[in-house]
Amino acid sequence: MSTEQKVAIITGASQGIGAALVRAYRDRNYRVVATSRSIEPSSDTGIIAVPGDISKPETAERVVREARERFGRIDTLVNNAGVFLAKPFTEFTEEDYNHNMGVNVAGFFHITQRAATEMLKQGSGHIVSITTSLVNQPIAGVPAALASLTKGGLNAVTQSLAIEYAKSGVRVNAVSPGIIKTPMHPQETHAALSTLHPVGRMGEIRDIVDAVLYLEGASFVTGEILHVDGGQNAGRW
Protein backbone atom coordinates (compact mmCIF):
# COMPACT_ATOMS: atom_id res chain seq x y z
CA MET A 1 0.00 0.00 0.00
CA SER A 2 1.38 3.38 -1.02
CA THR A 3 1.48 6.05 1.62
CA GLU A 4 2.72 8.77 -0.76
CA GLN A 5 -0.54 9.55 -2.56
CA LYS A 6 -2.55 11.95 -0.41
CA VAL A 7 -5.99 11.15 0.95
CA ALA A 8 -8.99 13.42 1.49
CA ILE A 9 -12.22 12.76 3.38
CA ILE A 10 -15.20 14.75 2.08
CA THR A 11 -18.57 14.80 3.84
CA GLY A 12 -21.87 15.62 2.17
CA ALA A 13 -20.26 14.23 -0.97
CA SER A 14 -23.18 12.89 -3.01
CA GLN A 15 -24.18 16.08 -4.85
CA GLY A 16 -23.56 19.80 -5.30
CA ILE A 17 -20.43 21.21 -3.68
CA GLY A 18 -19.46 17.89 -2.10
CA ALA A 19 -19.55 15.94 -5.38
CA ALA A 20 -17.57 18.70 -7.09
CA LEU A 21 -14.96 18.56 -4.32
CA VAL A 22 -14.59 14.82 -4.81
CA ARG A 23 -13.88 15.37 -8.51
CA ALA A 24 -11.48 18.23 -7.78
CA TYR A 25 -9.42 16.25 -5.29
CA ARG A 26 -9.30 13.26 -7.63
CA ASP A 27 -8.09 15.61 -10.38
CA ARG A 28 -5.25 16.49 -8.00
CA ASN A 29 -4.47 12.77 -7.63
CA TYR A 30 -5.82 12.47 -4.10
CA ARG A 31 -7.57 9.31 -3.09
CA VAL A 32 -10.93 10.20 -1.58
CA VAL A 33 -13.23 8.79 1.06
CA ALA A 34 -16.64 10.27 0.22
CA THR A 35 -19.56 10.07 2.60
CA SER A 36 -23.21 11.09 2.75
CA ARG A 37 -26.52 9.49 3.61
CA SER A 38 -27.31 8.54 0.02
CA ILE A 39 -23.93 8.15 -1.66
CA GLU A 40 -23.62 5.43 -4.29
CA PRO A 41 -20.63 3.11 -4.74
CA SER A 42 -17.97 4.42 -7.12
CA SER A 43 -16.34 2.56 -10.00
CA ASP A 44 -13.21 4.66 -9.41
CA THR A 45 -10.75 2.63 -7.32
CA GLY A 46 -9.43 5.89 -5.90
CA ILE A 47 -12.77 6.66 -4.25
CA ILE A 48 -14.33 4.85 -1.29
CA ALA A 49 -18.01 5.71 -0.85
CA VAL A 50 -19.25 5.32 2.73
CA PRO A 51 -23.00 5.85 3.25
CA GLY A 52 -24.18 7.00 6.66
CA ASP A 53 -25.56 9.74 8.88
CA ILE A 54 -22.64 12.09 9.60
CA SER A 55 -24.22 13.15 12.89
CA LYS A 56 -23.62 9.65 14.28
CA PRO A 57 -20.24 8.73 15.80
CA GLU A 58 -20.40 5.29 14.21
CA THR A 59 -20.43 6.87 10.75
CA ALA A 60 -17.38 8.96 11.59
CA GLU A 61 -15.64 5.89 12.96
CA ARG A 62 -16.37 3.90 9.81
CA VAL A 63 -15.22 6.68 7.46
CA VAL A 64 -11.91 7.21 9.25
CA ARG A 65 -11.32 3.47 9.57
CA GLU A 66 -11.85 2.98 5.84
CA ALA A 67 -9.40 5.80 5.06
CA ARG A 68 -6.80 4.38 7.41
CA GLU A 69 -7.15 0.71 6.45
CA ARG A 70 -7.60 1.13 2.69
CA PHE A 71 -5.41 4.15 1.98
CA GLY A 72 -3.07 4.29 4.96
CA ARG A 73 -3.34 7.97 5.85
CA ILE A 74 -5.57 11.08 6.08
CA ASP A 75 -4.23 14.36 4.75
CA THR A 76 -7.39 16.46 4.38
CA LEU A 77 -10.85 16.56 5.89
CA VAL A 78 -13.48 18.73 4.22
CA ASN A 79 -16.50 19.18 6.50
CA ASN A 80 -18.96 20.01 3.76
CA ALA A 81 -22.10 18.28 5.08
CA GLY A 82 -24.57 20.79 6.45
CA VAL A 83 -28.20 21.80 6.67
CA PHE A 84 -29.79 25.24 6.51
CA LEU A 85 -33.27 26.28 7.56
CA ALA A 86 -34.58 29.84 7.53
CA LYS A 87 -37.62 30.67 9.67
CA PRO A 88 -38.45 33.04 12.53
CA PHE A 89 -36.59 32.10 15.70
CA THR A 90 -39.70 31.38 17.77
CA GLU A 91 -41.00 28.99 15.11
CA PHE A 92 -38.05 26.60 15.22
CA THR A 93 -39.14 23.24 16.59
CA GLU A 94 -37.20 20.84 18.78
CA GLU A 95 -36.89 18.61 15.70
CA ASP A 96 -35.37 21.54 13.75
CA TYR A 97 -32.91 22.17 16.56
CA ASN A 98 -31.86 18.54 16.90
CA HIS A 99 -31.42 18.10 13.15
CA ASN A 100 -29.33 21.25 12.72
CA MET A 101 -27.19 20.56 15.77
CA GLY A 102 -26.79 16.95 14.72
CA VAL A 103 -25.57 17.53 11.18
CA ASN A 104 -23.78 20.86 11.57
CA VAL A 105 -22.19 20.44 15.01
CA ALA A 106 -22.08 16.74 15.91
CA GLY A 107 -21.30 16.02 12.26
CA PHE A 108 -18.23 18.24 12.57
CA PHE A 109 -17.20 17.04 16.02
CA HIS A 110 -17.18 13.27 15.60
CA ILE A 111 -15.32 13.04 12.31
CA THR A 112 -12.96 15.95 12.97
CA GLN A 113 -11.87 14.49 16.30
CA ARG A 114 -11.07 11.15 14.67
CA ALA A 115 -9.40 12.60 11.58
CA ALA A 116 -7.33 15.01 13.67
CA THR A 117 -6.06 12.08 15.75
CA GLU A 118 -4.63 10.51 12.59
CA MET A 119 -3.21 13.79 11.32
CA LEU A 120 -1.46 14.50 14.61
CA LYS A 121 0.18 11.07 14.47
CA GLN A 122 1.65 11.79 11.04
CA GLY A 123 2.50 15.42 11.85
CA SER A 124 0.56 16.97 8.98
CA GLY A 125 -2.95 17.58 7.76
CA HIS A 126 -5.60 20.11 6.78
CA ILE A 127 -9.13 20.49 8.10
CA VAL A 128 -11.50 22.83 6.28
CA SER A 129 -15.19 23.43 7.03
CA ILE A 130 -17.95 25.03 4.96
CA THR A 131 -19.85 27.60 7.04
CA THR A 132 -21.95 30.65 5.97
CA SER A 133 -21.48 34.40 5.78
CA LEU A 134 -24.85 34.86 7.49
CA VAL A 135 -22.95 34.22 10.72
CA ASN A 136 -21.16 37.56 10.49
CA GLN A 137 -23.56 39.45 8.25
CA PRO A 138 -27.21 38.63 8.96
CA ILE A 139 -29.63 39.69 6.22
CA ALA A 140 -33.00 41.28 6.93
CA GLY A 141 -35.72 38.97 5.69
CA VAL A 142 -33.57 35.84 6.04
CA PRO A 143 -34.13 34.71 9.65
CA ALA A 144 -31.41 32.12 10.20
CA ALA A 145 -30.69 31.88 13.92
CA LEU A 146 -29.98 28.15 13.82
CA ALA A 147 -27.44 28.68 11.05
CA SER A 148 -25.76 31.35 13.14
CA LEU A 149 -25.82 29.13 16.22
CA THR A 150 -24.34 26.09 14.48
CA LYS A 151 -22.17 27.50 11.69
CA GLY A 152 -20.98 30.28 13.97
CA GLY A 153 -19.74 27.57 16.26
CA LEU A 154 -17.75 26.11 13.36
CA ASN A 155 -16.12 29.48 12.69
CA ALA A 156 -15.13 29.73 16.35
CA VAL A 157 -13.77 26.19 16.61
CA THR A 158 -11.83 26.67 13.37
CA GLN A 159 -9.81 29.43 14.97
CA SER A 160 -9.53 27.61 18.28
CA LEU A 161 -8.17 24.44 16.66
CA ALA A 162 -5.87 26.44 14.38
CA ILE A 163 -4.11 27.78 17.48
CA GLU A 164 -4.20 24.45 19.30
CA TYR A 165 -2.58 22.68 16.34
CA ALA A 166 -0.41 25.53 15.03
CA LYS A 167 2.88 23.82 15.87
CA SER A 168 1.73 20.30 15.01
CA GLY A 169 1.69 20.58 11.23
CA VAL A 170 -2.12 20.48 11.11
CA ARG A 171 -3.87 23.53 9.61
CA VAL A 172 -7.54 24.38 10.22
CA ASN A 173 -9.54 26.75 8.00
CA ALA A 174 -13.09 27.46 6.84
CA VAL A 175 -14.83 28.71 3.71
CA SER A 176 -17.79 31.01 4.35
CA PRO A 177 -20.09 31.07 1.30
CA GLY A 178 -22.93 33.25 0.23
CA ILE A 179 -25.79 31.54 -1.59
CA ILE A 180 -24.48 29.08 -4.14
CA LYS A 181 -26.25 27.56 -7.16
CA THR A 182 -26.73 24.01 -5.97
CA PRO A 183 -29.61 21.52 -6.36
CA MET A 184 -31.13 22.81 -3.10
CA HIS A 185 -32.06 26.11 -4.84
CA PRO A 186 -34.60 25.67 -7.68
CA GLN A 187 -34.03 27.77 -10.81
CA GLU A 188 -37.12 29.88 -10.12
CA THR A 189 -35.56 31.16 -6.86
CA HIS A 190 -32.29 32.34 -8.44
CA ALA A 191 -33.40 35.86 -9.34
CA ALA A 192 -34.53 36.62 -5.79
CA LEU A 193 -31.50 34.96 -4.22
CA SER A 194 -29.16 36.94 -6.47
CA THR A 195 -30.34 40.17 -4.82
CA LEU A 196 -28.98 38.95 -1.48
CA HIS A 197 -25.40 39.61 -2.66
CA PRO A 198 -23.84 43.04 -3.30
CA VAL A 199 -22.50 41.81 -6.67
CA GLY A 200 -26.05 40.97 -7.72
CA ARG A 201 -25.63 37.28 -8.48
CA MET A 202 -25.39 33.91 -6.77
CA GLY A 203 -22.14 32.05 -6.44
CA GLU A 204 -21.19 29.01 -8.49
CA ILE A 205 -20.12 25.66 -7.08
CA ARG A 206 -16.72 26.21 -8.68
CA ASP A 207 -16.22 29.33 -6.54
CA ILE A 208 -16.32 27.23 -3.36
CA VAL A 209 -14.19 24.45 -4.83
CA ASP A 210 -11.56 27.01 -5.85
CA ALA A 211 -11.54 28.47 -2.34
CA VAL A 212 -11.05 25.05 -0.73
CA LEU A 213 -8.25 24.23 -3.17
CA TYR A 214 -6.59 27.58 -2.47
CA LEU A 215 -6.58 26.80 1.25
CA GLU A 216 -5.31 23.31 0.50
CA GLY A 217 -2.17 24.72 -1.03
CA ALA A 218 -1.73 27.72 1.25
CA SER A 219 0.77 26.29 3.72
CA PHE A 220 1.11 29.57 5.66
CA VAL A 221 -2.65 30.00 6.15
CA THR A 222 -4.42 28.61 9.22
CA GLY A 223 -7.33 29.90 11.29
CA GLU A 224 -8.73 31.66 8.21
CA ILE A 225 -12.47 32.17 7.58
CA LEU A 226 -12.39 32.77 3.82
CA HIS A 227 -15.51 34.62 2.68
CA VAL A 228 -16.72 33.63 -0.79
CA ASP A 229 -20.00 35.50 -0.75
CA GLY A 230 -20.24 38.16 -3.44
CA GLY A 231 -19.39 40.89 -0.93
CA GLN A 232 -21.90 39.98 1.78
CA ASN A 233 -19.32 40.12 4.54
CA ALA A 234 -18.04 43.54 3.49
CA GLY A 235 -20.96 45.38 5.05
CA ARG A 236 -24.51 46.60 4.57
CA TRP A 237 -25.88 47.30 1.10
156-177 confidence digits (pLDDT tens): 999 999 999 999 999 999 999 9
Cα atoms in the Cβ-side hemisphere of radius 13 Å centred on 204: 3
This prediction has a pTM of: 0.95
* Cβ atoms of residues 173 and 162 within 8 Å: yes
Average pLDDT over residues 56-67: 98
Q: What is the pLDDT of residues 105-147, one digit of tens each?
A: 999 999 999 999 999 999 999 999 999 999 998 988 899 999 9
The pLDDT assigned to 235 comes to 85
Percentage, residues of the chain above pLDDT 70: 99
Q: How far is CA 13 from CA 16, 23, 39, 63, 90, in A?
A: 8, 10, 7, 12, 32
Q: Is the pLDDT of residue 87 over 50?
A: yes
What domains lie within the chain, and their CATH numbers? 7-228 (3.40.50.720)
pLDDT band at 2 (very low <50, low <70, confident <90, very high): very low
User: Which pLDDT belongs to residue 209?
Assistant: 98
Q: What is the rounded average pLDDT for all residues in the chain?
A: 95
Proportion of the chain above pLDDT 90, given as a percent: 93
Average pLDDT value for residue range 80-95? 96
Which residues make Cβ contacts (< 8 Å) with residue 206, sequence separation at least 6? 20
Query: Which residues are CB-contacts of 218 (< 8 A; sequence separation ≥ 6)?
Result: none
Query: What are the backbone angles phi and psi of residue 30, rounded to the nearest 5°?
Result: -80, 145
State the pLDDT at residue 1: 40
33-51 confidence digits (pLDDT tens): 999 999 999 999 999 999 9
